[in-house]
């Protein structure tokens, strides 16, 4: 079967990276059934032939208007599709969409009419925010890490930056490689525009946000970097939980040691 990826090695590479990360999410145990979703902005890989491709779906509404996305293209996981299937067959479990000129609707253009993720409003709102703020980030990943989600069931961890400081203090890597910390978004209905709007507000301050009692959302230069930040935070959560299960409260690195890292690595916060 003909694919939009044929003779487009750059675009094919981007989709292969999504598939690779989808496999990691499944292996990590973060992607039960259809849990989680990934989108990437592929507009820079779109040529005139793609621009001329006829829609293979009806016009579908995003649910919100996103002015910076006019004419943009995204590869999106399909709703109800499994990460473990996206890993093996990305073009059967995801699709490429084009945002229409009204910035409020889209069409699917390739390869199959796979309806995008139910969290599309959140994903596209994040991409819209990123473009609007001049960011070069192209990827958004949402997943359900067991350890991090469990921590959101404790109200004490939901206060601003409590979890960020705790996770940063577990290992130097987390302070260095997730330098903007973890934002907290109070529970909101999955797939709602309310959740999308709350997510975007937090992105001004954080690259990774926690959807209370649901999952995390990360943005990054590419899908690997977005995954790495979640993975690093999850490693810290594992260290905390392992110490607790051994019967003690972990010491954590002191504020002074974390400040030393901030200076040494020239970190933003």
Min dist CB 215 to ligand 13P, Å, is 6
As measured in angstroms, the least distance from the Cβ of 144 to Zn ion is 6
Of the candidates 92, 119, 205, 249, the residue annotated as catalytic is 119
**Interface positions with Zn ion (CB under 5 A):** 215
Q: For this structure, is 32 an active site residue?
A: no
Decide which of ligand 13P, Zn ion, none touches 118; Cβ closer than 5 to 8 Å per partner kind. ligand 13P
* Other beta carbons less than 10 A from residue 227's beta carbon: 23
Alpha-carbon distance 162 to 167, whole Å?
Answer: 9
Please say which residue, 77 or 138, places its beta carbon nearer to ligand 13P.
77
From ligand 13P, Zn ion, none, interface partner of 79 (C-beta below 5 to 8 A by class): ligand 13P
Q: Shortest Cβ distance from residue 22 to ligand 13P (Å)?
A: 11
28/165 with CB nearer ligand 13P: 28
> Is the Cβ of residue 206 or residue 211 nearer to Zn ion in the bound state?
211
Measured CA to CA, the distance from residue 38 to residue 46 in angstroms comes to: 19
Cα-flanking dihedrals φ and ψ of residue 164, to 5°? -55, -50
128 binds, among ligand 13P, Zn ion, none (CB under 5 to 8 A by kind): none
Spell 3-39 as b/e; 16+ CB within 10 A means b: ebbeebeebbebbebbbebbbbbbebebbeebbbbbb
Decide the pairing of beta strands 208-211 and 182-185. Answer: parallel
Choose between 34 and 236: whose C-beta lies nearer to ligand 13P. Answer: 34
> d(Cα 255, Cα 258) in Å, to the nearest integer?
5
- Nearest distance, CB of residue 234 and Zn ion, angstroms: 15
Q: How far apart are CA 5 and CA 9, in angstroms?
A: 7
> What are the residues binding ligand 13P (CB under 6 A)?
34-37, 77, 79-80, 117-119, 142, 190
Q: Which positions are catalytic?
A: 119
């Amino acid at each position: 079967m003909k694919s939009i990826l044929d003779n487009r090695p750059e675009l094919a590479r981007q989709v292969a990276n999504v598939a690779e990360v989808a496999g990691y999410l499944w292996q990590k145990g973060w992607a039960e059934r259809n849990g989680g979703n990934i989108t990437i902005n592929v507009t820079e890989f779109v040529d005139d032939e793609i621009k001329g491709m006829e829609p293979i779906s009806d016009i579908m509404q995003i649910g919100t208007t996103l002015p910076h996305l006019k004419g943009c293209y995204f590869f999106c996981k399909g709703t109800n599709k499994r990460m473990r299937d996206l890993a093996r067959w990305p073009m059967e479990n995801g699709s490429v969409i084009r945002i229409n000129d009204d910035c409020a609707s889209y069409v699917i253009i390739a390869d199959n009419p796979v309806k995008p993720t139910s969290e599309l409003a959140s994903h596209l709102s994040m991409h819209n925010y990123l473009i609007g703020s001049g960011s070069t980030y192209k990827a958004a990943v949402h997943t359900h890490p067991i350890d991090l989600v469990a921590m959101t069931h404790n109200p004490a961890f939901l206060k601003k930056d409590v979890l960020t400081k705790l996770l940063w203090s577990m290992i130097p890597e987390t302070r260095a490689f997730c330098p903007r910390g973890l934002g907290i978004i109070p529970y909101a209905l999955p797939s709602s525009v309310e959740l999308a709007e709350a997510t975007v507000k937090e992105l001004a301050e954080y690259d990774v946000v926690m959807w209370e009692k649901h999952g995390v959302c990360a943005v990054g230069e590419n899908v690997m970097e977005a995954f790495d930040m979640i993975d690093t935070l999850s490693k810290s959560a594992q260290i905390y939980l392992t110490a607790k299960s051994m019967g003690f409260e972990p010491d954590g690195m002191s504020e002074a040691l974390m400040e030393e890292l901030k200076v040494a690595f020239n970190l933003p916060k």
